[in-house]
Amino acid sequence: MKIKLIIASILFSVILFACNHIRKHFTDVSADTIKMAEPSKDSVKFTAAMVDNAKDATCGMPVTAGIEDTLHYNNKVIGFCSKECKDDFLKDAAKNFAAVEWKK
Ligand SMILES: [Zn+2]
């Protein structure tokens, strides 16, 4: 009778340990996934070399100052400092495209 009790308690602790272990592993994996999904602050999405315009067609800022968004239009890649500038450009894309200052 005593032996049965001891075996039962050993089994119980093994199960408890296994559960804890799995839960810990699962938590670690989720933490890694969240870390990977976060965009790195050092990464540069677009560079001035990737676009055809010299200046943001909406606000006039040079593309070398930083590009947050790009637009493919009339076989050109146009860089913008922000999504807002791109949206403004798209409000009258044909007219704005004609005024873009291209790289020389
Ligand atoms: Zn801009």
What is the domain partition of the chain in residue ranges? 1-38, 48-98
13 CA from centroid of ligand 1 (Å): 62
Burial label, 43 (beta-carbon count in 10 A; 0-12, 13-18, 19+): exposed
Alpha-carbon span 69 to 67, nearest angstrom: 6
CA 10 to chain centre: 48
pLDDT score at 36: 59
Q: Which residues surround ligand 1, an ion (CB under 5 A)?
A: 56, 59, 61, 81, 85
| Distance (Å) from CA 48 to ligand 1 centroid | 13
Residues 50, 34, 86, 88, Cα dihedral to 10°: -170
pLDDT in tens, 2-48: 777 776 776 777 666 666 665 656 556 655 555 655 555 556 689 99
**In angstroms, what is the span from residue 83 Cα to ligand 1's centroid?**
8
